[in-house]
Chain A
Amino acid sequence: MMRAGHLKGAGKKALCLLLIVSLPILPGCWDRKELNEIALIRAVGIDRTEDGQIEVTILQAIPVRAGTESGGGGGGQQQIILSARGITIPEAKAKLQEKMGRRIFTGHQEVVVLGKRLAKTGIREALDFFARFPGFRKDAFLFVSKGTPKEIFETVVPGESTATENLYKMVRLERAVDMTIMRVLQEMSGDAEATVIPMVMKVNDTTLALNGAAVFRGDKMVDHLDRKAEEGLLWIRNEFTSRIINTRLPGERGYVSLEVTKSEAELIPKIEEKKRRILLKVTAEDDVQFNGTRLSLYNPSNVDRVARAMERIVRDRLRWTVEKMQKKARADVLGFAGAFHREYPEEWDKMKDRWNEQVFPRLEVDIQVRVHIRRPGITDRPAGLPEER
């Protein structure tokens, strides 16, 4: 006691320094997670069991050092699939944790697969968990699986370290609607309260395939769009990227294949005497990829014919998609609600409560398509034919 009181000058300074230095060490790095103490989760699957419980499946990837026995060459990964059930997702997760020696780490999960049964009974719970838990990556891609998520995870795709890595790469190639958790959360709480999530199915033990999209109204899956309808959806939602479309010209034999390189959709809502209409304007730029007809595409009038034929095809396809959404799903995942909200904010307030059920299905949709063929290719006439026309 006395001694402490008598500390002066250098002694006091030394004590202060000691206290300061021990400051970073004493708390014991509570937040530290060493890489060999965490379980790196690459994918999470959530499904509802027959008895109404929640089943959480995780796909844990085990990093394997390159060159060691099981690595098989260049530092691959082994995967472990584990499932647990519970009444809520956190409970199931806690049960999963009991089976593991490493802490579950979801900072790198890039894919979340929801089971179809869960999708049909409502995904609100799952979304709440995703939104609330900070350790859950919000830019993970969401999928709905045709079977159980476990089935998807167990598919071993050659060349990829895990099944889900393949999935992740598939949507990243933008062949389908790519929905991250963040986007789903936004759309579900947006004007239309509807969203789409791509569906995935197991083809065989080594192949997975994207299988259209699940349409959600509120938190429940109400419809399944096939690939063709999904394509129309992509056009309208402005997410369309390069795709091949075959066209036939009236009075000609053979197909012309066009690659859509650029497309832009515009929504122009209109309210005239209580009648609500919307004009859907699509402008696309195409390249010719294949010409099976005998027409020279260096002739502007021929190019024009191809473009007009293309426009017809696209228009029909869009019409078909819109009608399907309006009549069958009754879920506005096309962004019409947002367009009306922006253009007519006051009227929107009056109709927003009955949008999906009443207003959207009765909306009159006009479709205008304009196609420009930009690059007919580097050969003028159909290859292999003598110059005639």
Chain B
Amino acid sequence: MSGFRGFRRRRKRKNSGSDPVIPSSGEGLQVALHPELEKNRRVMKDLFERCDDVTFRPFRIGKEIEAEIVYIDNMADIEELNDHALAPLMKASLTRPEEIEGFFREELPIVSAKPVQTFEECVKHVASGDPVLFIDGWDRALNLGLQKWEKRGISEPEGEPVIRGSKEGFIESALSNTALLRRRIQSPQLKMEEMRLGRYTQTRVIVAYIEGIVNQGVLDEVKRRLERIDIDGVLESGYIEELIEDNPYSPFPQMNVTERVDTVAADLLSGRVAIITDGSPEVMTMPLNFPTLLQAAEDYYVRFTYATAVRWLRYLLFFFSLTAPSFYVATITFHPEAVPTEQLFNFAAAREKIPLPTIVEALLMEIAFEALREAGLRLPKIVGPAVSIVGALIIGEAAVTAGLVSAPVVIVVAITGIASFSIPRYALGFSMRVLRFPLLILSGSFGMVGFSLGLIALAVHLATLRSFGAPYLAPLAPFRPKELKDALWRSPWWKMNQRPRLSPNEYRQSSDQKPGPEQGGER
């Protein structure tokens, strides 16, 4: 026992101690480069020891000066390197290292070339794919900035398709993503601040916002939380999401995660902050409020009457997706007197030969449904249809015929499933899927009392939840009547004059834009 404890203590001490040496990221290497090429080469060779993908290419500038290019295969643009770096350098008529700087300014046709001074920078650039040029007799190196690797093309975001609206989605490259955003918002007020996260991965993370519209408090908070992150790797935006959330135990998403360029642009324009993570096509925007989760991008592109109607339908279905099975179980097992008589007799007839309690029936079907969904998601696309056929057979017909579950439960689970698919944000769909089960067990144990308690607890949780300091349920609680125009319904664009209260910059457009024969008038 004591030995075990001792072990634990020891381990703890180890963890809480100062950071171990991290060689690969180049930290602690803020050493200036040496003028002698040979020394520089040795340090670089040491650092990239056993990194066989790192290529050292020695050559001579103008047949006189020793030089060496360090780059990583397939991460550098070899053609550019050959044509615009190697070729002119070799042909240059330089004799003294002092002339080199002038040569770069006047004759080297590479726009991204930039001198660097420390080993730290060199390592960083080489590791990220930029070829770095070392020259004998010069105490600097030249970062040529010619990185290039295979990228996925820009395609339609599969998770959030629309009929009307842009079909552009973000990709895994952060710089492509910033370009996509920049193309949407062509203003110098759109700021992109870059930082690197992950000791080993050195992931490029970009904080984007529009100066003058963004809420400064939120922006500062986002940056502060990002700077606090100390982790060995950031492989996806999800890492960051979990590390900067307000309430890490809440089942609800606290930032909006989207692949859609237009959604992020719209969020930036309403005063939010976006975080772009290299290696992830998902861009996060914050703060998030709950109604946003039930709004699809398309809501703002189709006519407002239709958008409003669909939004209401979605609110209803959202409620269904959370409560339908629990409501059914609670009424059937605890309050059968509340069901219309004839309906109850039909339910009773369906349940007559079922040995399982209703709650078990419902849980069984819910689990089967979740299993199908999970299987359908993970399987290769070719096998997908097979799953749905098997699922339809099991859930639909056979389970009922075999007397395992009653038909009403199948209907309820099916409605729940369809309802949960109508939630436009996948993250909220996750929350509903997770919350459905505790609510189901509560309803199965305490009936309507448990059901109501569960919902009340949920409401309390939502009301206390904050996303980067902004109340999660706004504009419903705290009640902001002016913002209801984009929450309870979707007002036409000519009426949505004001940004959400979040932004210090109140008006987004002039107020007399109602179209009509006389052009304007109504506010």
Chain B residue at smallest Cβ distance from A65: B349
Contacts A65-B349, A65-B353 hold; do A27 and B336 have CB atoms under 8 A apart? no
Partner of B336 from the list A25, A29, A33, A77 (CB cut-off 8 Å) is A33
Restricting to B416-456, which residues have a CB under 8 Å from any CB of A?
441-442, 444-447, 450
What is the bound-complex CA distance between A216 and B222, given in angstroms?
A: 78
Partner of A31 from the list B344, B346, B354, B447 (CB cut-off 8 Å) is B447
Chain A positions within 8 Å of B354 at CB level = 36
Assess whether B332 is interfacial by the CB under 8 Å rule: yes
What is the bound-complex CA distance between A35 and B337, given in angstroms?
A: 11
What is the bound-complex CA distance between A33 and B357, given in angstroms?
A: 9
Query: B445 and A36: CB pair below 8 A?
Result: no
What is the bound-complex CA distance between A77 and B346, given in angstroms?
A: 9
What is the bound-complex CA distance between A161 and B348, given in angstroms?
A: 15
Query: A35 and B445: CB pair below 8 A?
Result: no
Query: A108 and B349: CB pair below 8 A?
Result: no
Query: A24 and B446: CB pair below 8 A?
Result: yes
Give the secondary structure class of B's interface. helix
Query: A34 and B445: CB pair below 8 A?
Result: no
Query: B345 and A31: CB pair below 8 A?
Result: no
Assess whether B18 is interfacial by the CB under 8 Å rule: no
Partner of A24 from the list B348, B350, B351, B442 (CB cut-off 8 Å) is B442
Query: How would residues 276 to 319 of chain B score, 1 for a CB under 8 Å from any chain A CB and 0 otherwise?
Result: 00000000000000000000000000000000000000000000
Assess whether B187 is interfacial by the CB under 8 Å rule: no
Q: How many residues of A contact B (CB 8 A)?
A: 27
What is the bound-complex CA distance between A107 and B442, given in angstroms?
A: 23
Query: B344 and A34: CB pair below 8 A?
Result: no
Chain A residue at smallest Cβ distance from B5: A6
Query: A63 and B352: CB pair below 8 A?
Result: yes
What is the bound-complex CA distance between A135 and B337, given in angstroms?
A: 9
Partner of B351 from the list A29, A36, A66 (CB cut-off 8 Å) is A36
A67 CB to nearest chain B CB (Å): 10
A121 CB to nearest chain B CB (Å): 31
Contacts A24-B445, A29-B444, A31-B447 hold; do A65 and B336 have CB atoms under 8 A apart? no
Restricting to A20-44, which residues have a CB under 8 Å from any CB of B?
24-25, 27, 29, 31-36, 38, 40, 42
A35 CB to nearest chain B CB (Å): 4
Assess whether B56 is interfacial by the CB under 8 Å rule: no
Chain A positions within 8 Å of B351 at CB level = 34-36
Contacts A63-B348, A66-B349, A75-B349 hold; do A35 and B444 have CB atoms under 8 A apart? no
B447 CB to nearest chain A CB (Å): 6
Restricting to A111-137, which residues have a CB under 8 Å from any CB of B?
135, 137
Assess whether B341 is interfacial by the CB under 8 Å rule: yes
Partner of A63 from the list B345, B357, B359 (CB cut-off 8 Å) is B345
Query: How would residues 35 to 79 of chain A score, 1 for a CB under 8 Å from any chain B CB and 0 otherwise?
Result: 110101010000000000000000001011110000000010100
Query: A137 and B337: CB pair below 8 A?
Result: yes
Query: A110 and B352: CB pair below 8 A?
Result: no
A228 CB to nearest chain B CB (Å): 33
What is the bound-complex CA distance between A313 and B442, given in angstroms?
A: 63
Which of B333, B344, B345, B444 is most buried by chain A, counting CB atoms within 10 A of its CB? B345
A-B contact pairs, 8 of them (CB 8 A): A24-B441, A31-B447, A34-B333, A63-B349, A63-B352, A65-B350, A75-B346, A137-B337
Interface residues of A (CB under 8 A from B): 24-25, 27, 29, 31-36, 38, 40, 42, 61, 63-66, 75, 77, 105, 107-108, 110, 135, 137, 161
New A-B pairs, 15, CB < 8 Å, besides A36-B352, A40-B344, A65-B350: A25-B445, A29-B357, A29-B444, A31-B446, A31-B447, A33-B334, A34-B358, A35-B344, A35-B358, A36-B348, A38-B336, A65-B352, A66-B349, A75-B349, A108-B341
Sort A-B residue pairs by CB-CB distance and give the 4 closest, nearest first.
Answer: A107-B337, A63-B349, A24-B445, A63-B348
Interface residues of B (CB under 8 A from A): 332-334, 336-337, 341, 344-354, 357-359, 441-442, 444-447, 450
